[in-house]
Chains A and B, each alone.
Chain A
Amino acid sequence: MRNKVLTFQSTHHVLKAEKILIEAGFKFDIIPTPKNISSDCGMSIRLDSESSDMSFLSDVLTYNNIIFQIYDYKI
């Protein structure tokens, strides 16, 4: 279950995060940011926090100066 949503400052940063996270081996989707999340931009990354190393994810994005926020994904 992909239960977490990552939001970013801009589309550029979503796509930069996508590139970095693919290189780091993460599995995720790009989705339109859900309406119930206070969005920074129109697209977000959705992934499963159970099977993903969230601490590594945080480190790798921070190391690349990507600002992000994590939300619960609710349908």
Chain B
Amino acid sequence: MQVYLDNTATSWPKPNTVVESIADYLKNYGGSPGRSGHAFALKAARIVFETRELLAEFFNADSSDRVIFTSNATNASNIAFKGILKKGDHVITSHMEHNSTIRPLRNLEKEGIIELTIIDCDNNGNIDFDLLKSSFRQNTKLVSTIHGSNIIGITLPIDKIGALCKSKNVLYHVDAAQTAGFLPIDVQKNSIDILTFTGHKKLLGPSGTGGLILRNNVEIDTLIHGGSGSKSESETHPDFYPDKLEAGTPNTVGITGLKAGIEFILKQGQKNIINHSRQITDYFLDSLIDIDEIKIHGPGKEKNILPVISVTSNFFPPDKIASILDKEYGIMTRAGLMCSPLGHKALGTFPQGTLRFSPGFFTSKKDIDYTINSLKQIFKNK
């Protein structure tokens, strides 16, 4: 038996329609979008266009030309940080961030470009909102927070933080790598100026897809210049979106899959997906409580909104349990720091990290039962 419980890293399996749409593009019309006017190029361009329109509607963007495709969430956030922040700017972020936010910001700090404040979170992942409120300075340009943690199933109050940023006239960037496609996100209602999303997790698309949603008030300088299929007579890169931030041939094959992923979610209904996930996650948490050797981290069932469960044990380190689960039982999980050292420091699980179970849309109760029984056997033999 094989059980995949690493959907926080990347979702698997993908809906059949995702696989089919990718094969269809490669087999039947694999042209380069925007590079010619022939039938294949036009069909490919339409797929990219329609995916932008879908994403714009999905996140309530101001306009679909402000949906920017990148190769992943890390690339998207880097483009945003490095294209917006200038010397002397102050940035506020949180202790729950992934390295995709912390590392580019620490690098900008090290180069003497920005001042950085990192707001504490408690061991349940709650951000110190009063501290956040008092951390704004005259030169604060940007607040950047994660939406949903990749360690425990909590979310940060993006609504509240967005409203605060709006009142201070400071840009708000949200890293929605774990939530985009799962929890409803409305960039206008949530006062988000820049949203980073990835295509291969909760949007159920293939890896190599992701991007940014930019509000109309956001200007980003491009890091990459090159071919865009537009203004070809000019030796300088165009300054209009999306071309400004998308030099080079786009990942059309990935974007066709991403489109099918979003359509799958819309067909199933986000509410149904959340309900299924909630049932599976609650069932998993309830079953784990029976195993005395395991400690569950995080704020408990009520606030465990995302299908992410982190555990530790006094008997084996996380990587040892993950290895036995994989090699002897075919259960795939993740152990360690999950690219989030600060988050583990906040939770008190640094440097060993945790063992993380992340079920997905296709995980069944049978998969959970098998995992729980396997864990029981491992601890019986301890």
Which residues does A use to contact B, with CB under 8 Å?
Answer: 9-13, 15-16, 19, 30-33, 38-43, 65, 67
The residues of A that contact B35 with a CB separation of less than 8 Å are 42
CB of B65 closer than 8 Å to a CB of A: yes
Q: Which residue of A lies closest to B234 (CB)?
A: A40
CB of B228 closer than 8 Å to a CB of A: yes
Query: In the complex the two chains form, is B49's CB within 8 Å of A43's CB?
Result: no
Query: In the complex the two chains form, is B34's CB within 8 Å of A30's CB?
Result: no
Contact sample, A vs B, 18 pairs, CB 8 Å cutoff = A9-B230, A9-B243, A10-B65, A11-B33, A11-B49, A12-B34, A12-B64, A12-B65, A13-B65, A15-B46, A15-B49, A30-B37, A40-B231, A41-B34, A42-B34, A42-B37, A42-B41, A43-B34
Q: Which residue of B lies closest to A66 (CB)?
A: B65
The residues of A that contact B238 with a CB separation of less than 8 Å are 9-10
Number of interchain pairs (Cβ within 8 Å) = 64
CB distance from A66 to the nearest CB of B (A): 9
Q: Which residue of A lies closest to B34 (CB)?
A: A11
Pick the most buried of B37, B42, B232, B233: most chain A CB atoms within 10 A of its CB: B37
CB of B63 closer than 8 Å to a CB of A: yes
CB of B242 closer than 8 Å to a CB of A: yes
The residues of A that contact B53 with a CB separation of less than 8 Å are 19
Measured as residues with beta carbon below 8 angstroms from the partner, the interface class of chain B is: 20 to 34
Given known contacts A13-B65, A30-B37, A39-B232, what 8 new A-B pairs fall within 8 Å (CB)?
A9-B240, A10-B238, A11-B230, A30-B42, A31-B37, A32-B36, A39-B233, A41-B34
Query: In the complex the two chains form, is B65's CB within 8 Å of A38's CB?
Result: no
Query: In the complex the two chains form, is B242's CB within 8 Å of A65's CB?
Result: no
The residues of A that contact B34 with a CB separation of less than 8 Å are 10-12, 41-43
Q: Which residue of A lies closest to B242 (CB)?
A: A12
The residues of B that contact A43 with a CB separation of less than 8 Å are 34, 37, 42, 45
The residues of A that contact B173 with a CB separation of less than 8 Å are none
Query: In the complex the two chains form, is A41's CB within 8 Å of B63's CB?
Result: no
Query: In the complex the two chains form, is B37's CB within 8 Å of A33's CB?
Result: yes
CA distance in complex: A41, B176 (Å): 33
